[in-house]
Amino acid sequence: MLPDFPWPPPRYSAFEVFERDSLAPAEGARLGMVAQRFEAAFDAAGYVERSYYRVPGGFALASRAEQIRADASPYPAPERWSVDAGGAGKSFADRLRALFNAPPGHYRVIVFVVTDQDFAAAPRAAQEGEALAWVSGGGLRLPSSIAALPFTPTHYASALIYEFERRSEHEPADVRVPSAAPGRVHLEKGGLWQALAAN
């Protein structure tokens, strides 16, 4: 069984809501089809690690943390993933230490949420350690029991952007609320908007 994503989601830096028909055909669409679209977009844009969570009426899919510039564009690899270099091979404590020891700059985690429930962000902002753990704390695939559920007219999909800024080597990273860039810009700079449009 998938673990639950925090609900309502912690306050995010930016967001983008997708047009329902752009993610799956209107007739006979299933949540699994939407998940496949998001997985394919993550793969095409270089986000090869992600993790599934359960949310009311759907699922969440969280990316690995990446290092970005102030304009929301990612650093080239390997610097892009230096915040938790080594990825899945590292323990949660190692990943957390990597963020606390990361150089000053901007970092981002992207979470796709598909649900049939209206929600508003929780009053509290996400903590850097919490967001960093999302990629390794969930499921590696969407269970068939959720994938087979209909993607109904009441379902909608959003991208929640969690941007963190570390101002010095001696300070923890703080979530930027709001981000200087809107959600669609984050998706475009990360290559996800283009990947979703192409699929």
Task: Centre a 10 Å sphere on the Cβ of residue 24 and count the other Cβ atoms it contains.
Answer: 21
Indicate the angle between helix axes 128-137 and 92-100, nearest 10 degrees.
150
Question: Any idea where the domains of the chain sit in the sequence?
Answer: 14-198
Task: Let me know the angle formed at the C-alpha of 124 by 97 and 104, rounded to the nearest 5 degrees.
Answer: 35
- Residue 54: per-residue pLDDT: 98
Given pLDDT bands bounded at 50, 70 and 90, which one contains residue 106? very high
Task: Check whether 171 has a pLDDT greater than 90.
Answer: no
* Cα atoms in the 13 Å half-sphere on the side-chain side of 83: 31
The pLDDT value recorded for residue 100 is 54
Q: What is the DSSP letter of 5?
A: P
pLDDT tens string 178-194: 999 999 999 999 999 99
3-state secondary structure of 32: helix
- Provide the token pair at 66: 């990446």
> The tokens 């209206």 sit on which residue?
118
List of residues 6+ apart from 62 with CB closer than 8 A: 5, 50, 51, 53, 109, 110, 111, 134, 135, 138
Is residue 2 pLDDT above 50, yes or no?
yes
Neighbouring CB atoms inside 10 A of 97's CB total 14
* pLDDT tens-digit readout, 85-99: 444 445 545 555 555
Q: Is the model's pTM score more than 0.85?
A: yes
